[in-house]
């Protein structure tokens, strides 16, 4: 027999009613508060990074929320497909494709009015060659030390001069990517910014017009004022997670991962729980089975390491995390089927920081965010009420 839960739980004094056994909750009020904070710090227009489906938060929903904000000048994605999806869902503003496009994608990128990052003169010519009756728009990326994408410093002057003579392409920006900006006193960041500015100063001295510059990611916005230039590209800070050093910047996480209790059972001393018998009950214990697992993005690597929250109390995860379920020791607590377990985020009384889980996995919060499966519905809250929900199938 299948069960359909209609969970009810309190959140910040409000009653939230949902029809999902497990879900990801996105706090849109916190989203806007984070943008307020980032904008004040940057002092320059923003191009929020919403690649990887807004780091798992839902790119379409995030873009719709931020499109009307005067501080937001553009959105950044990584692939053409990500940009196409935004256009299909009515996002009409500027979209920068950070990963560039392949030759076979160039025509579609131009037709959709996308701004494409280029790293070479060859890419510039290919983009211009596919423009047809339109004008292609590009951003030149310079490699200043990340050594991933980007034109070599020795080639920048030639590229800028050549592109300025092309009739079918215009430069909307010139950029670099910082490799170490999460450290307050990063010598690498200082060296990258110095090289970037020196290259462009030389180009300006040669009579070449320099388009708007953008280098600052979230860490750089808060830690390295020299990076802010004419446009900033905040990423993880938009979603409220501080992965850079220094004092607390005041960003608030907007994502919570919640699951429902599917079964509560008593176990005896010596009884194993889950695969591999990695947890054996030391005595009589009450165990709750939560309807979420590694297929949903709650990593198997957290087995016997993680804690979650139920009824304002922290509970220990026990045994191997399964594909669809995980188990918690809830001994001494009043727990029943349908109760809500908060695996990431806050229930209004306790908090389970994403960074804590990331550190347990020897990784970063970015990977946790991006790994949360679209099998789980995204539920968007604003003013304490559900404003919009999206299931995986409705993406």
Read off the pLDDT of residues 145-191 as tens digits, 9 standing for 90 and up: 999 999 999 999 999 999 999 999 999 999 999 999 999 999 999 99
Q: In sequence order, what are the residues at sequence separation of 6 or more whose Cβ sits closer than 8 angstroms to the Cβ of residue 70?
A: none
In this prediction the pTM is 0.93
Average pLDDT, the chain: 93
Span 345-382, pLDDT tens digits: 999 899 999 999 999 999 999 999 999 999 999 999 99
Domains, the chain, ordered by start: 8-25+253-394 (2.40.37.10), 28-239 (3.20.20.10)
pLDDT at 389: 53
Average pLDDT over residues 99-115: 97
Cβ atoms of 108 and 134 within 8 Å: the answer is no
The reply to whether 55 belongs to the active site is no
pLDDT at 18: 62
Give the confidence band of 13 by pLDDT, cuts at 50, 70, 90.
very low
Cβ atoms of 137 and 114 within 8 Å: the answer is yes
Of 103, 101, 94, nearest to 129 (Cα)? 103
Span 45-90, pLDDT tens digits: 999 999 999 999 999 999 999 999 999 999 999 999 999 999 999 9
Query: Is the per-residue pLDDT at 2 higher than 80?
Result: no
Strand pairing category for 340-346 and 307-310: antiparallel
Other Cβ atoms within 10 Å of 35 Cβ, number: 20
Cβ atoms of 142 and 196 within 8 Å: the answer is yes
Query: Is the per-residue pLDDT at 391 higher than 70?
Result: no
Look at the chain and count its residues: 395
Sheet of 115-118, strand order: 74-77, 94-97, 115-118, 136-141, 169-175, 213-216, 231-232
The reply to whether 275 belongs to the active site is yes
- Tokens describing residue 22: 């497990």
Catalytic residue among 88, 275, 314, 385: 275
Catalytic residue among 9, 41, 51, 298: 51
pLDDT at 143: 98
Strand pairing category for 326-329 and 285-290: antiparallel
């Amino acid at each position: 027999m299948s069960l359909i839960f209609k969970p009810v739980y309190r959140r910040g004094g409000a009653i939230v009613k949902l029809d999902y056994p497990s879900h990801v909750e996105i706090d849109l009020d916190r989203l806007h508060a984070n943008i307020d904070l980032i904008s004040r710090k940057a002092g320059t227009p923003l191009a929020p990074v919403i690649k990887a489906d807004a780091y798992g938060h839902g790119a379409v929903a995030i873009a719709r929320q931020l499109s009307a904000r005067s501080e937001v000048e553009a959105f950044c994605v990584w692939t053409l497909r990500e940009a196409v999806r935004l256009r299909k869902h009515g996002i009409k503003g500027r979209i920068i494709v950070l990963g560039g496009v392949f030759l076979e994608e160039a025509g579609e990128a131009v037709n959709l009015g996308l701004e494409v990052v280029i790293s070479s003169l060859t890419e510039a010519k290919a983009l211009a060659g596919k423009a047809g009756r339109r004008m292609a728009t590009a951003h030149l990326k310079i490699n200043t030390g990340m050594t991933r994408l980007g034109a070599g410093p020795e080639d920048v002057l030639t590229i800028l001069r050549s592109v300025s003579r092309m009739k079918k392409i215009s430069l909307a920006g010139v950029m670099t990517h910082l490799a170490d900006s999460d450290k307050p006193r990063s010598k690498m960041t200082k060296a990258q910014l110095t090289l970037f500015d020196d290259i462009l100063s030389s180009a300006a001295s040669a009579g070449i017009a320099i388009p708007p510059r953008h280098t600052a990611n979230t860490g750089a916005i808060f830690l390295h004022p020299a990076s802010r230039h004419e446009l900033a590209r905040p990423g993880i800070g938009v979603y409220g997670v501080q992965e850079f050093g220094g004092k607390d910047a005041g960003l608030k996480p907007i994502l919570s991962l919640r699951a429902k209790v599917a079964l509560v059972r008593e176990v005896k001393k010596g009884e194993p729980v889950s695969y591999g018998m990695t947890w054996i009950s030391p005595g009589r214990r009450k165990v709750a089975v939560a309807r979420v697992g590694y297929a949903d993005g709650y990593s198997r690597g957290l087995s016997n390491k993680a804690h979650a929250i139920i009824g304002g109390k922290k509970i220990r995860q026990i045994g191997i995390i399964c594909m669809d379920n995980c188990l918690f020791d809830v001994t001494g607590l009043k727990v029943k089927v349908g109760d809500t377990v908060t695996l990431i985020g806050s229930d209004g009384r306790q908090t389970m920081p994403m960074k804590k889980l990331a550190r347990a996995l020897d990784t970063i919060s970015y990977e946790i965010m991006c790994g949360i499966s679209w099998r789980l519905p995204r539920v968007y809250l604003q003013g304490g009420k559900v404003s919009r929900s999206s299931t995986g199938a409705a993406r």
